[in-house]
Amino acid sequence: MSSLTVSVDYSNVYEDKPKFFRNLIKVNVNSDTTIENIKSTVLNYLNIPYEDLYYIEFNGQKLEDKQTVNSLIISKNAVLLLKCSNFDELYSRMRRDRRL
Amino acid sequence: MSLSVGSSLKAYLKLTVLFALLGGILVALGFLIGGVSLAFWFLLFALGFNFLMYFISDKIVLASTGAKIVSEEEAPRLHAIVSKLASQAGIPKPKVAIVKSPQPNAFATGRNKEHAVVAATTGLLNIMDDDEIEAVLAHEIGHVIHRDMLVSTVAASIATAISYIGNLIAWMAILGGLGGRGRDDSARGLAALGAAILAPLAATFVQLAISRSREYYADEASAVLTRRPQSLISALTKIEQMIYRGAPLNASPSTASLWISNPFKGSSLLELFSTHPSTENRIRRLEEIARKMGYYI
């Protein structure tokens, strides 16, 4: 099973604004790593527990959590985007959990 | 070493020496261009410009960092920590702002205690525990207590005046207004040109040294205010790791000196050229403070 390193851009985890500088993290994956695994690795790194509010986008397409890396045509320099589906809900949960 | 939240005698002395150095460079350049009075006019102009900036700096900083002032309802945890620290430090509670960024960082701005703003990134709030956030914000409150906005404004004014004079000398040399026909005059002209190039550089180094020394004193204020220097050590370590692993913060690079840790730093940057001391040196000093407080580190 070959392993690969993919980059995940997490610049927009707190707001959906165009960024001049990108925040990237490299994640080691293999062919059966799921999108959910990648998402959870990055969110864990950022200490954001609201996984259901986030999804990963690749080449403009929203990926399903259960999809594996194998099902994607990912090159060495591929950048996956970590995005939030509902910022209002994110900030409301952060307030509820005394994170803000 | 005596520990205090306000500026200690040693801090004042160090600041005086650094300002004397800046003043010395300015006066020396003034002599080279034919009179201290001209240098005085440049200084007056630079002071006027920088003090105007000083009065509107908080608005400029908030705009260039993307920070938004938040209410107590919007950020109850952050407000509670800032309230506690302000009351411990005996200052009015600063305004509280949030920067929506994954990079953990924080800054303080505002021309005095009455107009202070303390800002933290969402990344900082999510990654740090309460003790670490308190330590970081106590560092920022330290800047407010020490009137570091005023200190940096005065330093920037003198450095600006020096660079104006440097530019003037360089233009005089280009247009042939320096030196004369004799060998002595030519040598004097060359010396003036050399000074015009080196003086602004030296002024920048002194200005950066002032910025670095203010960071150490703010760290000391944090240790004294929270009584937990270990929390700042842990917070600085986390911030450092995130900055090196991730990418820069989405703020103007001109705001680099404001943040608790330079959000744009590269690993090869020499400390002499940096607005902040290295995290390694800051941690070493904090460990010293911790030992002085009776902690075994």
Whether residue B250 and residue A20 make contact (CB cut-off 8 A), yes or no, is yes
Residues from chain A contacting residue B245 (CB–CB below 8 Å): 25
Burial of A88 (0-12, 13-18, 19+ CB in 10 A): exposed
B100–A10 C-beta distance less than 8 A: no
CB-based burial, B173-204: b 16+ in 10 Å, e otherwise: beeeebbeeeeeeeeebeebbebbeebbebbe
Cα(B216)–Cα(B277) distance, integer angstroms: 8
- B121-160 burial, b at 16+ Cβ within 10 Å, e below that, comes to bbbbbbbbeebbbbbbbbbbbbbbbbbbbebbbbbbbbbb
Amino acid at B73: E
Nearest to B91 by CA among B101, B82, B99, B81: B82
* Tokens read off for B115: 């107009």
The pTM of the full predicted model, rounded to 2 decimals, is 0.90
Query: Contact B101/A14, CB-based, under 8 Å?
Result: yes
Cβ contacts (< 8 Å) between B75 and chain A: which residues? 95, 100
Residue B215 among the catalytic residues: no
pLDDT digits (tens, 9 = 90+) for B207-223: 899 999 999 999 999 99
- Average pLDDT, stretch B118-126? 97
The CA-CA-CA angle for residues B28, B30, B33, to 5°, reads 115
Please report which confidence band the pLDDT of residue B178 belongs to, taking 50, 70 and 90 as the band edges: low
Q: Which two tokens stand for residue B64?
A: 């260039």
Backbone angles phi, psi at B109, to 5 degrees: -145, -175
* Average pLDDT of chain B to the nearest whole number: 87
ipTM above 0.95, yes or no: no
Asked if A100 lies within 8 A of B127 by C-beta distance, the reply is no
The one-character DSSP state at A64 is P
Task: Provide the pLDDT confidence category of residue B268 given band limits of 50, 70 and 90.
Answer: very low
Using DSSP's 3-state secondary structure scheme, residue A13 falls into coil
How many helices (H) does chain B have, and how many strands (E)? 9, 4
Given the residues B74, B114, B134, B140, select the one marked as catalytic: B140
A47-85, pLDDT tens digit by residue?
A: 999 999 999 999 999 999 999 998 888 777 789 999 999
pLDDT mean across residues, chain A: 93
- Report CA dihedral (A50, A51, A53, A57) to the nearest 10 degrees: 150
Residues of chain B neighbouring A91 (CB-CB closer than 8 A): 74
B142 with B5: CB under 8 angstroms? Answer: yes
Q: State the DSSP string of B111-129.
A: SSGGG-EEEEEHHHHHHS-
* Nearest Cα residue to B96 out of B63, B135, B146, B137: B137
